[in-house]
Structure formats: C-alpha cells, structure tokens
C-alpha cells in the first residue's frame, strides 16, 4: 500500500492598499470684506477669520475682484497671510466688488460674502492753506482783509473759510466768523483801539480745515499817514548759518518799476517808519535781511497803500497777518 502524502498549502490573500486620509475639512468662508483707503488705483480689503477652520490652521487667503457684473479675477499670486490686502491695478472711475477664500491643508473654502461696491477715486484730504493774505483797510474797530484760494482743494470743493484772531500777549486763537465765509474777503469786527492782533485764515472742505496760512517775513504796514508809513515784519525762519545783523527796507510807487531803498543805515529792529512819501500816492514795501554773507532775498511785497491820514482820530490798531 502506497503511503499517503499530505502537503500543506499556504493560502495568501491580497488586500487592496489602504490610503491614509486626514481627518480635516476645508475651512468656512472668511467674514464680509470691507474696503478702506480708496485711491484712484488701489484699495485695502480686510476681513475677519472664518468661524470654522476645518480642524486645521488657516494657511492663507485668496482675494478676488470683479468689475460690476464682470468676471471674478484672482488678485494675489501667493496666499495672503494677513487679514488684509492692498489691491492695486484698479482703473480710476471704475466700480469694483471683492470676495475672499480661506485655505487650509484640506483645501479651499467657499467664497465670503461679496463686499459693498467701491469706486476707484482719488483720496480726499484737507485742502491747502489760503494764499496771499492782505490787509486792505482798517478803522478803530475793524479790519478789512482778503486772500486767494488754496492751490490744493484736497479733491473736494472748498466750502468756505474760517478767520481766526489772536490778541497780543496771549496764546489763544479765537474763531471770528460763526458761519463759513464764502468769499475771499472779510471785515473783521469788534477790534479794540490800541491792541495788537494777529489774523490768519483756514480753508474748509468736507474733510476739515486746512492749516493756517503762514507767510515768512510777514512784511506788513502797521500805520500810515500823509507822508509816512510804518513797515513791520517778522524775523526769517532761517538765518543762513550766521546771525542776522539787520534789515534793508525798499519801497516802490504803483506806477514805477524802480525799487528805492528806504533806509541808509541798517535797521536793527523789525519795524521802520518810511518817511518822505508823497500824499495821495500808493506805495508797496519789501524787506531784506543781512548777515555776514551779505543781503538775502527780499520778502514778499506788501499790498499797495495810499499815503494819507486816516479819517478820525484814534489809537492805531496793530494788525499782523499770519
């Protein structure tokens, strides 16, 4: 009898490969985008964190823009790591909307709500200061002043002007006009004989008031009569690196091209009586400072004033324009 041979058989089972999966989900959408610092070609878009991060930290954000009813266009090449982004490349006058996506290891979120539309326009700022402030006339109780419009309106129309006055010896500036002055001229009322005043003007647009006008030297006429005018000025802001040793004053008649020196010797103070004038003629004045290097450039000239004795008797008002 032949022996029975039993062989063992190994059974091998092949299972499909197992793919490792993370337990994360894409995040929720970021908060509603808000737009700020709008210019003619750029805007800052900001948003808040998603309510849900999908179990994995947010790795960045994608920002998209579109012109009204146009296609959405991604504006950042690499993920934004902050909660704001400066979008550039806008076209002035066009209207835009924005939306934002959040990303994590699991993928990208649904888009945020769409921002309110914005129009790419030049930023509006406060205007520049008014120019060429002049004292036109005065009496014992008022001063008539005028000025020119600012060279910059800040991107918004000038609504009017604010006039401020400061009494000598005080640091306080008081607003004179309750309502905005619409014209480039104003009569300052309520002045008191014998007091010295400083006056200045601010321009106003819808953003706010400008800085006040401040003229270097501030050459001006403090007094006038039929044959003499008292010219006053402020020290210049810069002495050129050498102390100022004095000043020269020049005058010119309205119908003349010639500037005539009013003082033969250097004036040490900041006021000078220019005598020898002809009654009825109009004069303008300017001042130059002197140091060791020589005579500097002249100040801006004053307005023209007529050599005449004011009507009525009163103490002089000292008006200083800022």
Mean pLDDT of each 10-residue bin along the chain, 322 residues long: 56 61 87 93 95 93 92 95 95 95 95 95 86 81 88 90 84 90 93 81 92 68 87 78 88 91 91 92 92 82 85 50 58
Give me the pLDDT at residue 314, please: 42
Give me the pLDDT at residue 107, please: 93
Give me the pLDDT at residue 5, please: 58
Give me the pLDDT at residue 311, please: 58
Spatial neighbors of 205 by CB under 8 A, at least 6 apart, are 124, 126, 127, 153, 154, 156, 157, 158, 159
Give me the pLDDT at residue 143, please: 86
Q: DSSP string spanning 140-185?
A: SS-EEEEEE--S--TTS---EEEEEEEETT----EE--SSPB-SSE
What is the model's pTM? 0.47
Give me the pLDDT at residue 6, please: 55
Q: Quick one: which of 191, 260, 267, 263 has its CA closest to 233? A: 267
Q: Domains along the chain?
A: 34-119 (2.60.40.10), 126-213 (2.60.40.10), 215-322 (2.60.40.10)
Give me the pLDDT at residue 303, please: 85
Give me the pLDDT at residue 52, please: 93
């Amino acid at each position: 009898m032949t022996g029975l041979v039993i062989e063992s058989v190994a059974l091998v089972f092949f299972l499909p490969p197992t793919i490792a999966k993370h337990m994360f989900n894409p995040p929720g959408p970021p908060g509603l985008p808000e737009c700020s610092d709008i210019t003619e070609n750029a805007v800052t878009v900001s948003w808040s964190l998603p309510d849900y991060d999908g179990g994995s930290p947010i790795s960045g954000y994608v920002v998209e823009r579109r012109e009204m009813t146009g296609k959405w266009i991604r504006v950042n090449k690499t993920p934004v790591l902050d909660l704001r982004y400066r979008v550039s490349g806008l076209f002035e006058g066009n209207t835009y909307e924005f939306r934002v996506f959040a990303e994590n290891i699991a993928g990208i979120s649904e888009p945020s709500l769409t921002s309110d539309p914005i129009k790419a326009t030049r930023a509006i700022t406060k205007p520049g200061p008014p120019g060429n402030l002049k004292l036109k006339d005065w009496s014992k109780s008022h001063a008539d002043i005028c000025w020119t419009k600012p060279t910059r309106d800040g991107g918004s129309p000038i609504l009017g002007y604010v006039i401020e006055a400061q009494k000598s010896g005080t640091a306080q500036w008081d607003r004179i006009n309750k309502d905005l002055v619409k014209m480039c001229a104003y009569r300052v009322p309520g002045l008191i004989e014998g007091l010295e005043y400083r006056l200045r003007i601010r321009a106003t647009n819808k953003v706010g008031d400008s800085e006040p006008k401040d003229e270097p030297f501030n050459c001006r006429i403090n007094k006038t009569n039929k044959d003499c005018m008292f010219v006053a000025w402020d020290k210049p802001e810069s002495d050129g690196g050498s102390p100022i040793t004095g000043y020269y004053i020049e005058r010119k008649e309205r119908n003349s091209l010639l500037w005539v020196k009013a003082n033969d010797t250097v004036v040490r103070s900041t006021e000078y009586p220019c005598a020898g004038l002809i009654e009825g003629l109009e004069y303008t004045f300017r001042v130059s400072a002197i140091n060791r290097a020589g005579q500097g450039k002249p100040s801006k000239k004053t307005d023209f004033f007529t050599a005449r004795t004011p009507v009525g008797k009163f103490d002089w008002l000292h008006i200083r324009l800022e």
